[in-house]
């Protein structure tokens, strides 16, 4: 350990190898010369007892006796302090579930300036490191494939691996199924140590990759260890929200925004709606991330480790009768489940199972959640949704949908969340306006040619409307997406409860209508797409509008985009096919910005992704070099094609 590091935290999901790493640290101190007087190991576990820690230290330093147990915690701390203040020690605390007050134990607390003593602890929770005032914290992550193979090889044994020429290749498949989790590799490896025929290994692969594994004795042994992280979550809401994530397929990149939308509509959060509910959702996701039960992905997404997902499905199968999960996501079925399976289910996921037909009308009186995304649905019974009176959340994203499907959805009287984003849907039916309880509608990245007038404006309860990159260039005559989308803006502004909007507009007039409306004072617009704009003005963003994070501008006759500086939270910027654009930030126009706005303002300082395409006349981003401290990706066809194109940037080293 570094000299200035006195307290070191190791955190990670259950079974990832934290205790093993702590053991290696312990052995290192014993096997190599060092100037420490004592190395003390304490297994703390869930029921934190200062008494146990004090007793371990007392045994190590010779204080433990008959009279020791009769002393109070304070007396024990005083006795320990008298001895340990003269000692240089290493204290290894394995599996702590809440902060340990070292002073109450009777120890000097190591500091960055007085780090002669060392404390190393392992925990499931990232937050424990902060509460312990750790000088450094490291996440213990899953193993890569090569290290996974080495560990598995040791547990299985060369004798078994060499018993048949086909077994090594089959074993590699088994290793991949374990997802790099050491506990899974060890548990499965030991179970396979006696299997010396290819058929036994083929059977193991079938079991590991099927739902049957989740209920086997081997799985229960594995999951019971991992379940500690689940049990230790702070409340029932966070536990159920983790189970909710198992509805998505393996390795699926789950949008945080979409996930929170679902949770709110399901009534899983304490706060009923609005910005406070969203903040609670973000906080809950952070709780799951810090517990290493979710993994952070790029672009505001999370993912579940395969083994954690299997554990969640196992837990979901054992919870009370009020909740019944049926998760077939990603299993490759080509037919929907039989009618009998629909009757008692409350949460169902049929994502990525390649179903093309839903011909039977299923009675599902208890069904609240239905994930049908990533399927090419060619045939659907017009009455398919007729007997789903309790359905609150319906996702249809990333697939093909027959034209009449959304007409049938209008019968879902309880529906609050509808998501056909990125689907091949072409028209919204007029009947959609009867979804009077709908709170969240996601139409992003759809090629809609028609949204009838008064459909959007009749959804009076809408809180979230997502229409970023929504619409085709060819619009039918009565569509509110025709022209510059001024009619769309009028309908949006009539929604009194709307608090989150992402939208694509095709005129500066429509944009001005939106920005000038008093309704926007209470509206968060994180994503905005502008197309075919022919005017460039310096727009004024108030505090709520400054929440803009993503912007796409294309096919517009603009010479500059100086107004972007008054959106200080921009992270993703894409500018394409703006042939008149000469500079992103104009020095001349910058002079028109009020001193109050410019005070301490660094233009585009938070940008992470910058994409510049087909901008033939672009000369510079800014006349001066700009720092881009958060830039992760810069893409431009002009960087190589035009040698005299003067981009003045100060970039980090790891730009892609």
pLDDT digits (tens, 9 = 90+) for 307-353: 889 889 988 888 766 789 999 888 777 777 777 788 889 999 999 88
Cα separation values, 625 from 217, 601, 604, 649, Å: 62, 15, 12, 5
User: Is pLDDT at 73 greater than 50 in this prediction?
Assistant: yes
User: Is pLDDT at 98 greater than 90 in this prediction?
Assistant: no
pTM of the model: 0.74
CB-count burial class (<10 Å; 0-12, 13-18, 19+) for 543: exposed
Domain chopping of the chain, boundaries: 7-139, 145-209, 223-314, 533-656
User: Is pLDDT at 207 greater than 90 in this prediction?
Assistant: no
At 154, the pLDDT band (50, 70, 90 cuts) reads very high
pLDDT of residue 564: 84
Do the beta carbons of residue 56 and residue 49 sit within 8 Å? no
Tokens matching residue 265: 């509509």
Q: CA torsion sign, 457 to 458 to 462 to 467?
A: negative
Closest-CA residue to 14 (of 98, 71, 97, 75): 97
Please name the fold of domain 223-314: Arc Repressor Mutant, subunit A (1.10.10)
Cα separation values, 369 from 281, 333, 352, 427, Å: 18, 20, 16, 24
What is the rounded distance in angstroms from the CA atom of residue 543 to the CA atom of residue 566?
A: 10
CA angle 254, 257, 260 (to 5 degrees): 90
Q: CA torsion sign, 284 to 286 to 292 to 295?
A: positive
Find the radius of gyration of the CA atoms of the chain: 29
User: Is pLDDT at 646 greater than 60 in this prediction?
Assistant: no
8-state DSSP, 614: S
Mean of pLDDT values over 77-92: 91
For residue 504, what is the enclosing H or E element?
A: strand 500-505
How many Cα atoms occupy the beta-carbon half-sphere of 106 within 13 Å? Answer: 26
CA angle 193, 198, 204 (to 5 degrees): 65
At 1, the pLDDT band (50, 70, 90 cuts) reads low
Give the tens place of pLDDT for each residue, 227-270: 767 887 889 999 999 999 999 998 889 999 999 999 999 999 87
What is the rounded distance in angstroms from the CA atom of residue 235 to the CA atom of residue 323?
A: 17
Give 206 or 547, the one with higher predicted confidence.
Answer: 206
Paired with 370 in beta bridges are 348, 394
Give the tens place of pLDDT for each residue, 532-575: 887 665 555 544 455 788 999 998 888 888 888 877 888 899 99
Mean of pLDDT values over 70-90: 91
Q: What is the pairing mode between strands 301-303 and 254-255?
A: antiparallel
Give the tens place of pLDDT for each residue, 124-153: 888 888 898 899 999 998 889 999 999 999
User: Is pLDDT at 640 greater than 60 in this prediction?
Assistant: no
Cα separation values, 117 from 1, 35, 128, Å: 11, 10, 20
pLDDT of residue 163: 94
Please name the fold of domain 7-139: Rossmann fold (3.40.50)
DSSP secondary structure, 117-144, as one string: SEEEEEES-HHHHHHTT-SEEEE-PPPP
Q: How many helices and strands, by DSSP H and E, does the chain display?
A: 22, 25
The widest CA-to-CA distance across the chain, in whole angstroms, is 92
Q: Backbone dihedral region of 370: left (phi > 0), alpha (psi from -120 to 50 degrees) or beta?
A: beta
pLDDT of residue 464: 94
Tokens matching residue 422: 């990125």
CATH of 145-209, one of 2.30.30, 1.10.8, 2.60.40, 1.20.1050: 1.10.8
């Amino acid at each position: 350990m570094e000299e200035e590091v006195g307290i070191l935290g190791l955190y990670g999901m259950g079974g990832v190898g934290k205790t093993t790493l702590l053991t290696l640290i312990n052995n290192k101190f014993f096997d190599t010369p060092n100037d420490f007087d004592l190395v003390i190991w304490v297994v703390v576990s869930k029921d934190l007892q200062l008494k146990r820690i004090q007793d371990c230290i007392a045994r190590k330093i010779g204080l433990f006796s008959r009279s020791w147990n009769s002393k109070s915690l304070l007396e024990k701390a005083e006795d320990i302090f008298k001895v340990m203040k003269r000692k240089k020690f290493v204290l290894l605390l394995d599996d702590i579930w809440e902060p340990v007050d070292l002073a109450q134990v009777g120890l000097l607390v190591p500091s960055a300036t007085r780090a002669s003593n060392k404390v190393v602890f392992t925990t499931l929770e990232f937050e424990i490191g902060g509460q312990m005032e750790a000088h450094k914290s490291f996440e213990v992550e899953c193993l890569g494939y090569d290290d996974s193979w080495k560990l598995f090889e040791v547990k299985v044994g060369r004798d078994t691996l060499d018993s048949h020429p086909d077994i090594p290749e089959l074993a590699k498949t088994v290793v991949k199924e374990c997802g790099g989790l050491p506990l899974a590799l060890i548990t499965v490896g030991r179970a396979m140590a006696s299997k010396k025929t290819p058929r036994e290994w083929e059977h193991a692969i079938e079991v590991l990759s099927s739902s049957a594994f989740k209920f086997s004795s081997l799985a229960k042994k594995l999951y019971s260890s991992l379940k500690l992280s689940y049990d230790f979550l702070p409340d029932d809401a966070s536990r159920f929200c983790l189970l909710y994530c198992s509805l998505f397929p393996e390795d699926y990149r789950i949008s945080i925004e979409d996930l929170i939308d679902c949770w709110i509509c399901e009534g899983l959060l304490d706060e009923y709606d609005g910005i406070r509910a969203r903040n609670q959702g973000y906080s809950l996701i952070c709780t799951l991330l810090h517990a290493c039960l979710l993994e952070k992905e790029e672009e505001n997404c999370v993912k579940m480790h395969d083994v954690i997902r299997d554990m969640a499905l196992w837990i979901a199968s054992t919870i009370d009768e009020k909740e019944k999960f049926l998760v077939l996501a990603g299993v490759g079925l080509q037919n929907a489940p039989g009618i009998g399976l629909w009757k008692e289910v409350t949460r169902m996921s049929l994502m990525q199972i390649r179903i093309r037909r839903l011909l039977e009308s299923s009675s599902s009186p208890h069904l609240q959640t239905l994930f049908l995304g990533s399927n090419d649905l060619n045939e659907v019974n017009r009455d398919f949704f007729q007997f789903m009176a309790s359905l609150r959340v319906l996702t249809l994203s990333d697939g093909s949908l027959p034209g009449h499907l959304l007409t049938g959805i209008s019968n879902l009287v309880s529906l609050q969340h509808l998501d056909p984003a990125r689907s091949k849907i072409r028209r919204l039916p007029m009947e959609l306006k009867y979804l009077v309880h709908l709170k969240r509608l996601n139409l992003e990245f759809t090629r809609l040619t028609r949204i009838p007038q008064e459909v959007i404006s009749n959804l009076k309860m809408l809180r979230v409307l997502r229409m970023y990159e929504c619409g085709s260039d060819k619009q039918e005559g009565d569509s509110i997406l025709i022209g510059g989308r001024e009619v769309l803006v009028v309908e949006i502004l009539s929604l009194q409860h709307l608090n989150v909007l992402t939208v694509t507009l095709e005129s500066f007039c429509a944009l001005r209508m939106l920005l000038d409306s008093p309704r926007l004072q209470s509206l968060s617009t994180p994503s905005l797409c502008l197309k075919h704009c022919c005017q460039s003005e310096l727009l004024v963003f108030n505090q709520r509008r400054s929440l803009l994070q993503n912007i796409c501008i294309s096919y517009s006759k603009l010479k500059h985009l100086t107004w972007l500086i008054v959106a200080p939270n921009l992270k993703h910027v894409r500018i394409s096919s703006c042939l008149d654009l000469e500079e992103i930030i104009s020095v001349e126009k910058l002079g028109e910005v009020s001193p109050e706005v410019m005070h301490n303002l660094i233009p585009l300082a938070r940008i992470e992704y910058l994409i510049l395409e087909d901008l033939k006349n672009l000369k510079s981003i800014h006349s001066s070099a700009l720092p881009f401290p958060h830039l992760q990706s810069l893409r431009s066809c002009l960087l190589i094609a035009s040698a005299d194109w003067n981009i003045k940037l100060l970039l980090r080293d790891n730009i892609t």
